Structures are given as structure tokens and as C-alpha cells.
Amino acid sequence: MPANRAILHVDMDAFFTSVEQRDRPELRGKPVVVGAPPDKRGVVAAASYEARKFGVHSAMPSRTAYRLCPHATFLRGDHAKYSRESERVMSILRQFTPLVEQVSVDEAYLDVTASLRLFGTAEQIAREIKRRIHETTGLTASVGVAPNKFLAKLASDMRKPDGLMVITDAAKLGVLRPLPVGRIAGVGKKTEPMFHELGIRTIGDLQRFPIATLRARLGVWADEIKARALGQDDRPVEPCGEAKSISNETTFEEDVSGMETLERTVRELADEVGRRLRAEGVRARTVQLKLRWSDFTTLTRRTTLPEATDDEARIAQAAIQLMQAELKEPRPVRLLGVGGQNLLRAPRQLDLLDRRSDRRDDLNRAADAVRARFGAKKLRRAGEL
């Protein structure tokens, strides 16, 4: 591996379901699905490897997952618990380098170039990370080691679960050559047939394909996709570690058109968004509303607040105003979502003449403490009862 960069991609194995199997020994070795119940309308958030053998995967409708694997255990999941486990994992990664880019609750990139003198080779660091994660959490992770982010993620995907793979600069073209072109990020089910029309089925085909012809078909994307085929990626590991947005959504069992029910749902969703904003220590300057109709048409609307907030009441009020503007006439809604965007870590400037803001902050944090200790359902607003 060249001395310029040593990049790791750490990906927890079937994270949500692995946590559940760890905490419930009777589920170990059995198919487990986290997400909506099979008799409700909703999707799979995660599937254990045992369930994946039957074709179950994330984002699949839960009813489809049940048809494929009726003997699976379906769980709603405990996202507060998953967040706590995620932070334990991320804290282990930061023991090796401050350059940790968390891209989701269960995966992150590390640039350990400057850490090699302290901890040994990049492969040795990867093995020690896997050992500490398992020792601390009882969970397994797959780790890819490479000179760049694209290759590191590819490597971690190729050795799951509980794997470790190293792709060196010298070996990268040979590793990439036989893989389907769809293994390149951005080449999905809709775009892969276009490559097939050009006679490109493997990454090796793309390596040999004339760049001029590729540019004529793909435009500015051609150079990036060609670079990936050659194992090139100069993106840095960006250790911002902060979410760009925090959102919450729900799919109704049956389409809903009643404004009273929709507004109550907005408030419930905003409660979770506010709690997560406070847990992250950030405030949202923008509120987003997401609506999906029965024909799966999806609409999003945003509004900018006069002041960034982590208060669910203000978030709900803004989202309800957006919804009222769109639903002037009743229309059945399949999915409803609320989110906070344009997140700021700077503390709110307190208005010394408005003690109500202080009291609201204190109340919100007290409610968070109660929910963290006794569960989210133990404390609810009077309007939800």
C-alpha cells in the first residue's frame, strides 16, 4: 500500500438485528427482521443474515418479507438502543485517529495514515479495531483496507460478515476487473442496462472502454465513473461527524385524509425529531415536510425558521403549516414525514426577557431523561391520549 493514504471502511454486520440477537439469545442463528410488523403497511429496516438467505432485504415491504420468510421474528426495533451501540463503536474508532467520517449509524471511514507509526500497519489497525468492537459490544464488524474510500468500502463489502480485506494499489485493477459494473457506486438498476447496451458488463470492460465514447453517452459523469473503474478516488475522509438532517416518518396502515389525524401524527413525528436534535446537540434552521400519496407520488416542502430550534412544538407548528398549505382539500396520504435540516451546533441566544424559552428547554430535557430511562411510550402529550 502506498505511503500517501491508508483508508479503512468499518461496517457493522447486520447491525440492528445483530444487536437484537445479542440481547435475546433465543434469536441467535434464526431469521430476524427489524421494521414494520408483517400485518402492517411499512418496510424492513434491517434483516439478519439468516433472513437474507430467503431473499429478505432492507427497504422491502414487510408483507413481502413475511411471504418470503414466514418463520422470521419481526421486531419493531429500539433505535435509541442502536444509537447507543453506534456511539460505543464510533468511540473505539476515534481511539485510532481523529479522522473518522461517520456516514451512517453503522459505518464509517477512517484515515489512519498518520497513525501507522503508533499502531502498526493498516491491516494491524483493522484487526485491532475488530477485536475491540467485539470485546466491547459483542458485535462483529467487517473492515476494508485500501488507498482510498471507494476501494475500502468495496473491500469491506466483499468479506462480510466478520471479514477483513486489504486491496493494495498494486492489486486494485486485478481485483476490480471481474466484478459487475453495478458494484460501482452510482451504477444502479436503472443505469446498469445503459452500460450493458454499450457492451460494458464488468468493471474490466469499463477499464478498457474509450473515455471519449463514454463522455458522449454520460457527459460529465464519465470521468468519475472511469476513475472508479481504475480504482481512483481522491475524496478525503471528512471528520465532521454531524448529521446533515434528522427526520422521522411513518407509513399508515390505511391511507389517511383526516386533517386531525394527520396533525396528531405530525406532532408525534416532531417529538422524535426534537429528541434526536437535542441528543445530537444541534438545532434545525429548516423544517421539512414529506407527503406520499396512495399512488406513491412523493412531495417535499421546506420552510426556514426565524431562529434555529430543537423544540418539537415549533417544529410541529411549522410542519403543520406546510401541510395545511398543501392539503387545502382532503387527499389520502400514505406516508408522512417530518425533518429538521440546516443543522447548527451554535447555542441558541437566550432572550433574557422570555423565561418561557428557558422553561420549555428545561421541560424538553426532563422529558428526554424520563423517556431514556423508562421508554419512549411512558411519557406522552395529553393531546395524544
Residue from 107, 268, 272, 312 carrying the catalytic annotation: 107
Whole-angstrom distance, CA of residue 286 vs CA of residue 350: 19
Is 135 assigned a catalytic role? Answer: no
Active-site residues: which are they?
107
